[in-house]
Amino acid sequence: MMQMDRRPCLDEFEKLLVRMNTPRVRIDNAVCVNATLVMIDSARKDGILLEAVQVLTDLNLLIKKGYVSSDGRWNMDVFHVTNLDGNKLEHGIIDCIEHRLQSLGTVHSTRFKSIDGITAIELTGTDRVGLLSEVFAVLSDLKCDVVESKVWTHNGRIASLIYLKDCDSGCPIGDSQKMESIESRLRNVLKGDNDIRSAKTSVSMAITHTERRLHQMMFADRDYERSPIIKTSGKYSPTVSVQNCLEKGYSVLNVQCKDRPKLLFDVVCNLTDMQYVIFHATINTTEDGAYLEFFIRHADGSPISSEAEKHRVTLCLRAAIERRASEGVRLELCKADKPGLLAEVTRTFRENALNVTRAEITTRKGTTENIFYVTDALGYCVDSKIIESVRERIGSDYLRVKELPCRNHEKGEKEEQQTGGIGGAVLLSLGSLVRRNLYNLGLIKSYS
């Protein structure tokens, strides 16, 4: 009888725990004129802010403004959100947001698309023109079907996550000998002639959010410490400052840069993985840029303690923002998938001296939907005649062009004039290749 009396009490206690640990989500379309308000109240837990931001950015939503506050054991987050067109959200997407946000902290699901039945390969190494073509050629030769992949480059480094299936069986690659062969050959490709020490390949079994994992791979590769091989236009270069608020025991982090999708995710992701806790934050975006302020502490409750640590945080956040901010020409490929298609497309890029700075590869229902950001071999804007030649070879109906604002164009013209036209440009190119090799060998600090 005593056991029967206790069970209802236990059940009520369990229900209370569920209510306390389930975030309360309110979404209001009426309060703000040009955005939808997403409000989240939740018990304070490590990483829950990142998960909330990740939900919104994975749904391709823009966070225009935001307020984050932690009071004791409770979090309150408010986000002003729009779709990519800058409009308020419709009911269908609102229902989806509510469902996903209410599961925060209870089900640790960082990828909404299951990767069951897929082998994940992680690659890091020194970037070079044609590297992606060599990687996909190896996978094609070994009868591997690329289901999905993301590739980032930054400061002369490359990080990639590639999800594979066996071409013949359509199953994960379970043969240990074949897996060893894939890793060995890809490692040799990544090493090239100059990257013997830092080329890495590994098989990942963890279900991790792809873009968070790419940040972690780049961070582990210490890309933030390297000088950029090619100078950028500065359009995406952020201004980052760190100061201590001694009376409150916080470190205050300010970020100012050009606004873009997933900016907040990139910053919060890196702060979280660097073991900093965000207690308060203000996010504001305008046509002129994005302005982010964070009040942070170490996981042990202490603020940043030294100038060296402040410098490191500044470098790491600049790198986190720049990794995704690819410039150049955006090429979108939509075509029926077939074995070796990626190898063919990227080989065409290489044969036309196009350098892939970022790539997103997806296969859905037999159709490949790929996005490539390309520059010329020196990082400048690609000549339109070369782009048209590439489109003709791949198929102009399948390869669409969306050109981003060209960078370094004036600089390139000026250098060509100073070096004597075409002949001078050839000498400039050869000199750049020599400097690239010296940089990769570690004999000079910067290629630029």
Question: What is the pLDDT at residue 159?
Answer: 95
Question: What is the pLDDT at residue 107?
Answer: 40
CATH placement of domain 119-227+327-403: 3.30.70.260
Tell me which residues of the chain have a pLDDT lower than 50.
1-2, 6-8, 16, 107-114, 408-448
Question: What is the pLDDT at residue 417?
Answer: 41
Question: What is the pLDDT at residue 20?
Answer: 57
27 in Cβ contact with 94 (< 8 Å): yes
Domain locations in the chain as residue ranges: 23-101, 119-227+327-403, 239-324
Q: Which CATH class is domain 23-101?
A: alpha beta
First vs last C-alpha separation in the chain: 81
Question: What is the pLDDT at residue 254?
Answer: 98
Q: What is the Cα–Cα distance from 361 to 146, expressed in whole angstroms?
A: 8
Q: What is the Cα–Cα distance from 358 to 149, expressed in whole angstroms?
A: 11
Question: What is the pLDDT at residue 414?
Answer: 40
Q: What angle do CA 217, 326, 136 make, to 5 degrees?
A: 60
Question: What is the pLDDT at residue 226?
Answer: 81
Identical fold for domains 119-227+327-403 and 239-324, yes or no, is yes
Question: What is the pLDDT at residue 75?
Answer: 87
What CATH number does domain 239-324 carry, 3.90.1300.10, 3.40.50.300, 3.30.70.260, 3.40.50.720?
A: 3.30.70.260
What are the CA-CA distances from residue 155 to residues 227, 255, 379 (Å)? 6, 20, 12
